[in-house]
């Protein structure tokens, strides 16, 4: 019997952000990791996402043995709080070695660094009890296209993914596509690109995706269509829900904050494809507004989860029969209004 669909929620430590941006410093106090961890259960979250250096701070200054020791200590703390590690992601965009990208850097030493660090992230994932390695390919692109060969970069990405798949027979690579920022153009901008490159690796069935709503919107796509598309391949292994007001910098607004209808359609797509039935989590990659004061700075997480829950109810109570009749009559004019009035709660 298929499992009942139910949602479990997840967030990363970076989502408790202090409000620093390129134009100004932090506006909220920073809190300890333990404090962040302790908030999760009270907010109704069951899991945490980890960059490798969230799990083991100052990771590059530590020996492999020390890194694993600290990962084991973290696992104990997570168990103590009843929190699961959802994924580990190598944070390859901070280090001096990855200024020009990691896997696609023109410098072989830097490519080696990126691959070694990714393999170490897999070891950390093993200790933390997750088989998902998230790859947000932040700097795998260029500021100007003449700086790298696009064709060679595809080969280099495949080489890097193959090295990770070879390192561990169980690990699944979940690529998180984003079209731009920090780079002018990224090499894997959409879910279609991620699925296509998976086919070139040594084990395509272990290369899948994470969708982030804002990233799809930045690519000019509808995140609900991206969800339907990747789920028809059985490859949506994680999800970063948030919102984005058009083609700007990556805003990471609370889920549903900019476009409730687009958010509703994402939830409908998750419902219709049974997201969560294989243990996948709903993660919110959201940040508080910079104007948010310290006493309200968990609200973006609570609000995103509440909006999600309400939209699940809206998806379940959507007047399917009435909609089907309008679709059969090709009466999309009234279908449009049906959706609007359903969301407004007046019908």
Residue 285 binds to ligand GLO (criterion: CB under 6 A): yes
Closer to ligand GLO by CB, 70 or 86: give it: 86
CB atoms within 10 A of CB 58: 8
Tell me: does residue 240 bind Mg ion (CB under 5 A). Answer: yes
Least distance in angstroms from the C-beta of 14 to ligand GLO = 6
Does 48 contact ligand GLO by CB under 6 A? no
Does 212 bind Mg ion (CB under 5 A)? Our answer is yes
> Which CA distances in Å does 73 have to 13, 50, 55, 80, 124?
17, 14, 10, 11, 11
Q: Check binding of 243 to Mg ion (CB under 5 A).
A: no
176 lies in the binding site for ligand GLO (CB under 6 A): yes
Choose, by CB under 6 A, the member of 40, 47, 85, 89 that binds ligand GLO: 89
Count CA within 13 A, CB hemisphere, residue 14: 15
Least CB distance from residue 340 to ligand GLO, whole Å?
Answer: 30
Give a three-class secondary structure readout of the chain: CCCCCCCCEEECHHHCCCCCECCECCCCCCCCHHHHHHHHHHCCCCEEEEEHHHHCCCHHHCCHHHHHHHHHHHHHHHHHHCCEEEEEECCCCCCHHHCCCCCCCCCHHHHHHHHHHHHHHHHHHHHHCCCEEEEECCCCEECCHHHCCHHHHHHHHHHHHHHHHHHCCCCEEEEECCCCCCCCEECCCCHHHHHHHHCCCCCHHHEEEEEEHHHHHHCCCCHHHHHHHHHCCCCEEEEEECECCCCCCCCCECCCCCCHHHHHHHHHHHHHHCCCCCCCCEEECCCCCCCCCHHHCCHHHHHHHHHHHHHHHHHHCCCHHHHHHHHHCCCHHHHHHHHHHHHHCCC
Could you tell which of Mg ion, ligand GLO, none binds residue 269, using a CB distance below 5 to 8 A set by kind?
A: none
Task: Give whichever of 132 and 338 is closer to ligand GLO, judged by the CB atom.
Answer: 132
Instruction: Give me the 186-225 binding string for ligand GLO, x by CB under 6 A, dash otherwise.
Output: --------------------------x-------------
Partner from ligand GLO, Mg ion, none binding residue 89, C-beta < 5-8 Å depending on class: ligand GLO
Write down the catalytic residue from 51, 193, 240, 287.
51
* Minimum distance of ligand GLO from residue 326's CB (angstroms): 37
User: Which of 55, 74, 128, 134 touches ligand GLO (CB under 6 A)?
Assistant: 134
Which of the following is catalytic: 52, 53, 54, 243? 54
Of how many residues is the chain composed? Answer: 347
58 given a catalytic annotation = no
Identify the residue among 36, 240, 268, 305 touching ligand GLO (CB under 6 A).
Answer: 240
CB of 119 or CB of 240, closer to Mg ion: 240
Residue 336 bears catalytic tag: no
CB of 345 to ligand GLO, least distance (A): 32
| Size of interface with ligand GLO, in residues (CB under 6 A) | 9
Footprint on this chain of Mg ion (rule: CB under 5 A): 212, 240, 285
Footprint on this chain of ligand GLO (rule: CB under 6 A): 89, 134, 136, 176, 178, 212, 240, 250, 285
Among all residues, which ones are annotated catalytic?
A: 51, 54
């Amino acid at each position: 019997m298929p499992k009942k669909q139910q949602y479990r929620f997840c967030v990363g430590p970076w989502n408790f952000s202090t409000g620093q941006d390129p134009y100004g410093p932090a506006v909220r106090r920073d809190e300890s990791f333990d404090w962040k961890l302790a908030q999760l259960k009270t907010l109704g979250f069951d899991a945490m996402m980890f960059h490798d250096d969230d799990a083991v701070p100052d990771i590059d200054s530590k020996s492999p043995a020390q890194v694993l020791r600290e990962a084991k200590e973290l696992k104990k703390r997570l168990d103590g709080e009843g929190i699961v590690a959802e994924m580990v992601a190598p944070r390859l965009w901070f280090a001096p070695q990855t200024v020009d990208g990691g896997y696609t850097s023109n410098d072989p030493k830097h490519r080696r660094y990126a691959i070694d660090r990714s393999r170490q992230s897999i070891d950390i994932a093993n200790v933390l009890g997750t088989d998902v390695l998230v790859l947000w390919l932040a700097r795998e692109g260029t500021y100007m296209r003449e700086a790298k060969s696009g064709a060679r970069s595809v080969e280099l990405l495949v080489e890097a993914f193959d090295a990770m798949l070879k390192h561990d027979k169980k690990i699944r690579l979940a690529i998180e596509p984003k079209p731009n920022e920090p780079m002018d153009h990224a090499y894997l901008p959409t879910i279609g690109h991620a699925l296509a490159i998976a086919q070139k690796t040594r084990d395509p069935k272990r290369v899948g995706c994470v969708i982030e709503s804002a990233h799809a919107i930045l690519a000019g796509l509808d995140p609900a269509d991206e969800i339907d598309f990747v789920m028809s391949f059985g490859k949506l292994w994680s999800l970063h829900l948030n919102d984005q007001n058009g083609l700007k910098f990556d805003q990471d607004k609370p889920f549903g904050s900019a476009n409730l209808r687009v958010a509703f359609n994402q939830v409908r797509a998750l419902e219709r494809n049974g997201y969560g039935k294989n243990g996948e989590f709903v993660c919110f990659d959201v940040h508080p507004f910079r104007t948010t004061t310290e006493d309200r700075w968990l609200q973006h997480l609570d609000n995103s989860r509440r909006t999600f829950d309400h939209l699940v109810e809206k998806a379940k109570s959507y007047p399917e029969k009435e909609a089907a009749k309008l679709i059969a009559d090709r009466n999309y004019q009234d279908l449009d209004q049906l959706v609007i009035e359903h969301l407004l709660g007046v019908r």
